[in-house]
Structure 1
Amino acid sequence: MKTLKRYSTISLLLLLCFSCNIKPQAIDYGNDGCHFCKMTIVDKVHAAEIVTTKGKVYKFDATECMVNFIDEFDSSEIQLYLSNNYKEPEALIDATQATFLISKNIPSPMGAFLSAFKSEEDAKKTQAEKGGKLYNWNELLAHFKS
């Protein structure tokens, strides 16, 4: 009987550990829908994702949809903010550490002309070619609130 209780306790602990898996999910382009605007996510350069502290994933067709969504969401429940890296399509990067470029020469799905870059150097190179203005995460949030 003690052995059965021990196995039950171990099983329960393992279930709890694996049920709150806080990690990004791959976006299924052409099938997944944007949680904010409900459009199908097809753009492999501008998509974004939020992962909550409980492991729930919200997918977006553009970083601007994610930014607009967080105005309606309790940010204390968000563990990860992720955006696709402009220089490496489909690769999700930490949006809070990214450099963002708003350039009228780089269309994004919802018309904000917003792109995310893993490195500031890549963002500056693209800005030199395409024009626009650079933002860090906090500056970007302030820009969208104004």
Structure 2
Amino acid sequence: MIRPTHFFIFFLLLVSCNSTPVAIEYGTTSCHACKMTIVDQQHAAQLMTKKGRTYSFDAIECMASSLNQWKEEELATILVTDYLNPKQLIDAQNAYYLISNSIPSPMGANLSAFAKKTNRDELSNSPGDQALSWNEVKSLAK
């Protein structure tokens, strides 16, 4: 027989370990890494731990440089903003990245993420632009 207190405890455990994104309140939320207020909707990033904690960042490079704070097995979800769709957070591992001087980012790395390779490639039009994978982004931050 399940008692109401058992159900309540189970519910609390379920809610506390949730790894879904939390809405970033632009102009209010601070970056976990650099403590700047997050205002740029095209470069924000977020990660969630398996324990259910959410950390928001004002730029992909801030998040990437902070990844060494956690063991890989502690992380549930790593998200970046699709540059062309600022309201959409996408899986960082499946995103396509571009470093381009024509697309400045908050911390100066000029790093942006895209949901589609074709979108990234269309905006990569300067000789110095560099297309990156998630593993290359992580290695830049080390």
Q: Deviations over 1:36-71 (max 9, x none)?
A: 000000000000001100110000000000001112
Identity of aligned residues (%): 43
Secondary structure (helix, strand or coil) at the match of 1:128 reads coil
Q: Deviations over 1:67-114 (max 9, x none)?
A: 011123322211111111101013111111100000111100000000
Alignment of 1:61-80 (within 5 A): 61-80=58-77
Query: 1:137: Cα distance to partner?
Result: 0.4
1:23 aligns with 20
Alignment of 1:1-146 (within 5 A): 6-128=3-125, 132-145=129-142
More helix, by proportion = 1
Contact map agreement 1:105 1:130 (CA 8 A) in 2: no
Aligned partners of 1:121, 1:130: CA distance in 2, in Å? Answer: 18
Larger Rg: 1
Give the structure-2-normalised TM-score: 0.92
* Structure 2 unmatched runs, 5+: none
Aligned CA RMSD, in angstroms, stands at 1.7
Higher mean alpha-carbon deviation, 71-80 vs 108-117, is at 71-80
Query: 1:20: Cα distance to partner?
Result: 1.4
Structure 1 130/62 Cα, relative in aligned 2: closer, same or farther at 3 Å?
farther
**Which residue type is aligned with residue 32 of structure 2?**
H
Query: 1:32: Cα distance to partner?
Result: 0.2
Aligned partners of 2:116, 2:33: CA distance in 1, in Å? Answer: 27
Structure 1 89/130 Cα, relative in aligned 2: closer, same or farther at 3 Å?
farther
Query: 1:131: Cα distance to partner?
Result: 5.7
* Structure 1 unmatched runs, 5+: none
Aligned partners of 1:80, 1:131: CA distance in 2, in Å? Answer: 31
Give the structure-1-normalised TM-score: 0.90
